[in-house]
Structure 1
Amino acid sequence: MTGDYTSVPLRPGARWTGARMQQGRVLLDGDYNLTVDAASREAQRLTAAAVGPAGVADGSSAFRIGFATDGTLQIGAGEMWIGGLRAVNSTLIAYTIQESVPPLPTSGKALLYLDAFVEEIQAAENPPDLLDPALDGIDTMTRTRVGWRVRAKPVNATSCAGAAQALPPLELSTGLLDIVRTSPPVPMDPCAPPDDPRGKLPDGLLRVEVLDSGTESTARFAWSYENAAAAVSASVVGAAATLKPSPEVTFVSDDLVEVSTLVRRADRVNHGPLFVVDHVQPGAGGSLVTLKTPAAVTGSPSGLCLRRWDGQSIGAAAQTKALLNGVDVGVAFRARPGSYLAGDWWAVRVRGSSADAVEELSAAPADGTRHFVQSLAVVDLDARQVLTDCRPTFPALTALKDTTCTVTAFPGDDLQVAADKLPDSGGELCLAAGLYPLNNPVIIKGKRRIVVAGIGPATVLACTGHESVVQFHGCSDITVRDLRAESGLASTPERPAGDEHLLGTLSFIDSSDVTVRDCELACPDSAGRTQSTVFAGSFERGRSTGQVRVLNNRLEVGNQQTGVLVVSPDEVTVTGNEIRLGPATDDRVGFHPRLVNELSRFVGSHVVANDSESGHTISLPGGATMRVAGATVVQRLAGQFARTVTEKALSRGTPRQQLQQFTRRALLAPDSLDLSREANRFLTGAVRSRSMSQGIVVAGLRANHVRIEGNQVSGVLQGIHVGLAGSGDATADAGQVVINGNHVACAVPFFWTRSRHAYYVGSVQSLTLTQNSASLTRIGAALSLLGSIAGSPVEAVRIHGRLGYLIRVQGLDLTGPFAAGVAITDLSAWGKTPRLFHVSDVINMSGTGPALVPLSIPHDRCVP
């Protein structure tokens, strides 16, 4: 703002929104400019509020960074909003065309960013556009525009977020300035003519500007009582400055002048000392001004002119007199501690014609030009390739859709902040498409009637460092729908394997009335702790979770993990879900403690009690022997154990116990043993078996109504489990349980020693289990070996506990070596009537056992 003004119309802290004319009044430049500036400021603020810090319209090439076929870095044409300002690049240009911008780094990666600012242009800085030839060199108004530069910074990062750390902190000076009236002006010279302006303050604007950056003691300050508006367009070569004709501004010997360019202020370039005019030679085509020292400027930079100042000072920590024509006119300024940036300025109104009135400032911030920066792209200068386009985009107004969301979040937003904005009484958090990486789970506490919704699998929430992605605590009436959530490993130094309170990808803790539908959820392979994809329950024993509905989801469950775990519901509905073993996520799955323990017990179980059983006798140190039955590979492994075990080790436990320890050591520290290739292949192949622990589990102290229908569960040790706990040795009874139309594909390692089931129901009052199917595959060894190893029995359906008035099993299609189709154990002492037990339409053609155990249960059409 270097025009010929009488006042600063609108300071940053002022709240004026405009000026209104009155009839018959004088119109001041300050009033007119206030209206212009206020409207411009309001438009800038509104634009920034609508667009954000920066943005280009979707699909726009504005300021898009690219490389031409010859490797030239180019800047796309178009408009970009930045800090509420509209920066316009009218045509595709090369980076190097920009004036006074440092060259690109020679190699490596670089961040390209846009630097934008409001730029005011005087007639002296652009005569062709601002001077009307008919006025014979007399200027009228100044003009403003949005200036911009695209700059480059070397970086190591390849992402926009990582490279953004290199953005410069382009800000205003932190130093504050005082401008005060110190004394009355010097009396006029009696020999001076009337109204001689050299004897008193002028009517104008006193400007104090930072010419060279520094502190309050080192910065160079200059001042002008005419707002540094006295400027004339010039061409400068060394100490010679040829001026354009100017009827308004003339220079005389000993004037202090700045060799001024637009770039100096826009780029905050230090000027150095002001120049002193040696002499002036008038000319018809413009005066020739000779400076006492040569200027360093070369060529014809934009806005080149000579600008007059009244004084300069290096530092102003102490009160500095603002002399006028070398005379103390009773005005001074002082710079308070802080930084002072070149180009920043302060201005006050002075009125010599009215009692020498001077507007004073106290601890005033700079009125300087604010810069706004925005990353455009990260590029590889060696490969001449754009690595990442960093320009934020926004949709056109016509592309915006109505929304009923209470809070909307987008990738890059803080989801915890967004969740905290939800009212306690209810609301919907809508998540736009994109990836939301999380370091910690989003936690929602104490709210009711809450909906969290994405737009399907395109909305991805990924929390790699925690077993939960979203946790609800003490909430009610919750719905999570249409999104994908991926959790990380639960085992951390702070929460090691074996801790209680195992959570799910979505966790509903001490919450009630929960719905999860149309989601994709994933949890990784277990590293020791058991997780789930959906957990609804309480850490307070017996607390109800109300109604829980898990509907039409796709669950990717890691090795030894659980799909759905619901604890103590009043009612639970699990329907239409696809629950399958997810892809391997961690090498540690090969050493899962549960698999190691199971395989060790399996090998140890082949030590038989006496010679009457089949097998081979193996000699041990100290004259002891043990008899080992089973497959040849197990016997050979036992033989290698016998060659390595010591008599001292045998004294610490039975041969079976020591064989189990040997097997564990062979799995966890194989390099310490000289195992045969066959034994090593057998053990590692077995322990690398992958399967879910359980698909759907309903547990706790209550389950009044359970409906599990139409689910596909594959790659699981135990598919569907409804079994309640209780107080002491007593278990609780489930109420009405309906299990209908499900398919369970069991994948059970051959060495598993604990009994497993496709379907398990514990104590229950009423059970309807209809139109289900199941398959069984034994895993962990080659098919040729599986045929020679007796695996642990797996039952298709196990109903065990206190059974109530109705047990109905109808339509069960089984494939695979199930030991039994339906096994029922009734522990109740039922004395009531009537009571209905019935099993029908069960086929187990490939099984190794009967379709029904015991056969005393009423049944028909059961094969075999």
Structure 2
Amino acid sequence: MKGDFTRNTFDPAKHFSRVLMQQGRVTLDADFNEQAAILLDYMRTLAKDLIGPYAAPSAYAGFRLTFDAATKDLIIGDGRYYVDGILVENDEPVPYSLQPDFPLLAADPLAAELKAPKGTVFWAYLDVWERHVTYIEDDEIREKALNGPDTCTRAKVVWQVKALPAASLPQPNITPAGANLASCSAPLGGLMAVSRALMAARIKPGGVFKDACVTPPDSKYRGTENQLYRVEIHQSGAAGTATFKWSRENGSVASAWLGTSGNDLKVSRSTGFAAGNWVELIDDTQELMGLPGALVLLTKVEGNKLTVDPTTASPATATTWTETLVNPRVRRWDQTENDVIHLAGGAVPLTEKTASADAWIPIEDEIQIQFSPNGQYRSGDYWLIPARVSTGSIEWPPLTDANGLPVVVDGVTQPDPLPPDGVEHHYAPLGFLSLTGTTLSLGSCRCTFDPASSCFRGGSLPVGAHLVKPFNFDARLLSEEAVEESKAEAVLRKRKKPGTA
């Protein structure tokens, strides 16, 4: 999450139950965020333990798939679903091609099959992840009375219904009629929660993290000395294809992109940008599709105009602003080219450790990173590295041996290679489907659960609906009208503005 944070202190391995504020102490964002993370982790772990990895409440089971012959589109049913304990909500039926948080590629194979059926079998699944939202993406979260400054940011649960041809799965001959628990869940193993990769970070042996209080005359940065470095995958792939970018401020320096005139980008604010910066031009569509934006080099900053070097834009139309862009923005990154680092399209080529080369990659101020062999890297996945001047080092766990002791080689404590801090994806199968004419064959993979209370079992009564007869009550006798009324009330409640009755 690209916010202006000090660090992320939540560690489930420590089993903290809450954060306790003390009087007369400095309040940090990390403490507040850790409390929210502790509670959220508890709730989601509890939900997963009780419900299982994925299931829907029987009274309002969401994400049922049907076919609309008139529009030749798949309809995703309204309701709720739980995936790894995460509550996923769809407030109203939506077409597959018009999902709110999943812009389809023009060549989407399932969409093409729905328009012109060839009998191809697809495995449909739910992809769930958390997206970071700032005032640039949703200006309503900013308090207008402050006349400009933003405060807190938000995290949003994003759901996306996706599909893979059954022929590409480990069991390629599954048909809708053959859908069962084993066949439904088998393809999940091929989906990545996060990049299957490891990265280590360290201070160069013999080096000392530069004291930010001693600032060279030509330095461009004169803010706080403590940093939260972010190393983020730019181009997906394996080593040799994958690239990364990095930021000393967690990628939080960004501005709304309002238009283009020649080589000038009009932005809402230019604070934090300077000539020589590489910036990323991206919008919601690219982010939701898991695609990186274009990196371009700034040559001048004047007022709220950022001038770019047009020769660095790839494609050449990358700097073109249009009305079709959704919340376009400009984000600063801090990688630069030097005698050691040679950029590729503005990003750093990713190299891995080998038997003959340690392949430590310099960032700045003696900070180095190293990628372990045989990684699979996905665009947007990232690692965070807090750097602190008071200790002259970074916060990174050491590699430990079987006895839990730090591993020391040639007098140097070795850093532990870690998986990415995010973005973590969670998956649930929805079903195997094929289309013959206008007839949809669906082998459902959806699971449901009843409420724990015996009064509400049977799949006919949403939790929280009013009981007509509190005793000797059979929920299955409740009318369909009452069920629909309860669902409507739930949707209305979600749409109410904060502070309204």
What TM-score do you get using the length of structure 1 for normalisation?
0.42
Alignment-derived partner of residue 149 in structure 1 = 160
Gap change, CA 1:53 and 1:204, over 3 Å in 2? same
Unaligned runs of 5+ in 2: 167-172, 336-346, 353-358, 398-414, 458-501
Counterpart check, 1:137 vs 2:162: no
* Residue 331 of structure 1, aligned match among 367, 392, 409: 367
**Inter-partner Cα distance in structure 1 for 2:112 and 2:217:** 62
Alignment-derived partner of residue 253 in structure 1 = 275
Equivalent AA in structure 1 for residue 437 of structure 2: A
CA deviations on 1:289-310 (whole Å, 9 max, x unpaired) are 4353245486545443111111
Three-state SS of the structure 2 residue aligned to 1:375 is strand
Alpha-carbon contact 2:203-2:209 (below 8 Å) kept: no
Alignment-derived partner of residue 304 in structure 1 = 328
State how 1:415-454 maps to structure 2 within 5 Å.
none
Alignment-derived partner of residue 418 in structure 2 = 364
Three-state SS of the structure 2 residue aligned to 1:18 is coil
Alpha-carbon contact 1:118-1:144 (below 8 Å) kept: yes
For the pair shown, which has the larger CA radius of gyration, 1 or 2? 1
Once the two structures are overlaid, the 10-residue window that deviates more, 263-272 or 169-178, is: 263-272
Aligned length: 389
* Residue 104 of structure 2, aligned match among 101, 105, 121: 101
Gap change, CA 1:38 and 1:308, over 3 Å in 2? same
- The structure, 1 or 2, with the larger RCO (C-alpha pairs under 8 Å, 6+ apart) is 2
**TM-superposed deviation, 1:8:** 1.3
**TM-superposed deviation, 1:100:** 2.1
Alpha-carbon contact 2:129-2:157 (below 8 Å) kept: yes
Alignment-derived partner of residue 396 in structure 1 = 451
CA deviations on 1:702-754 (whole Å, 9 max, x unpaired) are xxxxxxxxxxxxxxxxxxxxxxxxxxxxxxxxxxxxxxxxxxxxxxxxxxxxx
Alignment-derived partner of residue 23 in structure 2 = 23
* Residue 379 of structure 1, aligned match among 433, 436, 445: 433
**TM-superposed deviation, 1:334:** 1.1
Alignment-derived partner of residue 115 in structure 1 = 127
Gap change, CA 1:392 and 1:189, over 3 Å in 2? closer
State how 1:26-105 maps to structure 2 within 5 Å.
26-70=26-70, 71-98=72-99, 99-102=102-105, 103=108, 104-105=111-112
Counterpart check, 1:290 vs 2:308: yes
* Residue 347 of structure 1, aligned match among 371, 380, 384: 384
**TM-superposed deviation, 1:238:** 9.8
* Residue 199 of structure 2, aligned match among 173, 177, 184: 177
Counterpart check, 1:322 vs 2:363: yes
**Inter-partner Cα distance in structure 1 for 2:239 and 2:98:** 37
Gap change, CA 1:336 and 1:190, over 3 Å in 2? closer
**Inter-partner Cα distance in structure 2 for 1:295 and 1:25:** 51
What TM-score do you get using the length of structure 2 for normalisation?
0.70
Equivalent AA in structure 1 for residue 56 of structure 2: V
Three-state SS of the structure 2 residue aligned to 1:88 is strand
Gap change, CA 1:112 and 1:141, over 3 Å in 2? same
CA deviations on 1:758-803 (whole Å, 9 max, x unpaired) are xxxxxxxxxxxxxxxxxxxxxxxxxxxxxxxxxxxxxxxxxxxxxx
**Inter-partner Cα distance in structure 1 for 2:15 and 2:288:** 26
**TM-superposed deviation, 1:281:** 4.3
Alignment-derived partner of residue 462 in structure 2 = none
**Inter-partner Cα distance in structure 1 for 2:137 and 2:444:** 36
Counterpart check, 1:208 vs 2:216: no
**Inter-partner Cα distance in structure 2 for 1:117 and 1:133:** 29
Three-state SS of the structure 2 residue aligned to 1:364 is coil
Gap change, CA 1:96 and 1:239, over 3 Å in 2? farther
**TM-superposed deviation, 1:48:** 0.9
Equivalent AA in structure 2 for residue 366 of structure 1: P
| Greater strand content | 1
Equivalent AA in structure 2 for residue 392 of structure 1: C
Alignment-derived partner of residue 723 in structure 1 = none
Alpha-carbon contact 1:105-1:154 (below 8 Å) kept: no
Gap change, CA 1:176 and 1:72, over 3 Å in 2? closer
**TM-superposed deviation, 1:368:** 1.0
CA deviations on 1:415-467 (whole Å, 9 max, x unpaired) are xxxxxxxxxxxxxxxxxxxxxxxxxxxxxxxxxxxxxxxxxxxxxxxxxxxxx
Alpha-carbon contact 2:258-2:265 (below 8 Å) kept: yes
CA deviations on 1:626-655 (whole Å, 9 max, x unpaired) are xxxxxxxxxxxxxxxxxxxxxxxxxxxxxx
Equivalent AA in structure 1 for residue 369 of structure 2: F
**TM-superposed deviation, 1:288:** 5.0
**TM-superposed deviation, 1:322:** 0.8
CA deviations on 1:11-53 (whole Å, 9 max, x unpaired) are 4644333211111111111111100011111111111111111
Alpha-carbon contact 1:153-1:166 (below 8 Å) kept: no
| Greater helix content | 2
Counterpart check, 1:5 vs 2:29: no
**Inter-partner Cα distance in structure 2 for 1:301 and 1:113:** 27
Gap change, CA 1:305 and 1:134, over 3 Å in 2? same
Alpha-carbon contact 1:120-1:144 (below 8 Å) kept: yes
Equivalent AA in structure 2 for residue 160 of structure 1: A
Alpha-carbon contact 1:216-1:336 (below 8 Å) kept: no
Alpha-carbon contact 1:58-1:395 (below 8 Å) kept: yes
Alpha-carbon contact 1:3-1:142 (below 8 Å) kept: yes
Alignment-derived partner of residue 409 in structure 2 = none
Alignment-derived partner of residue 507 in structure 1 = none
Percent identical across equivalent pairs?
25
**TM-superposed deviation, 1:66:** 1.0
**Inter-partner Cα distance in structure 2 for 1:149 and 1:9:** 29
**TM-superposed deviation, 1:236:** 5.9
**Inter-partner Cα distance in structure 1 for 2:236 and 2:51:** 33
**Inter-partner Cα distance in structure 2 for 1:189 and 1:57:** 57
State how 1:568-579 maps to structure 2 within 5 Å.
none
CA deviations on 1:43-87 (whole Å, 9 max, x unpaired) are 111111111111112143521111224033211112211111111
Alpha-carbon contact 2:210-2:392 (below 8 Å) kept: no
C-alpha root-mean-square deviation of aligned residues, in Å?
3.1
Gap change, CA 1:348 and 1:185, over 3 Å in 2? closer
**TM-superposed deviation, 1:163:** 5.5
Alignment-derived partner of residue 402 in structure 2 = none
Three-state SS of the structure 1 residue aligned to 2:136 is helix
Counterpart check, 1:124 vs 2:143: no
Gap change, CA 1:401 and 1:221, over 3 Å in 2? same
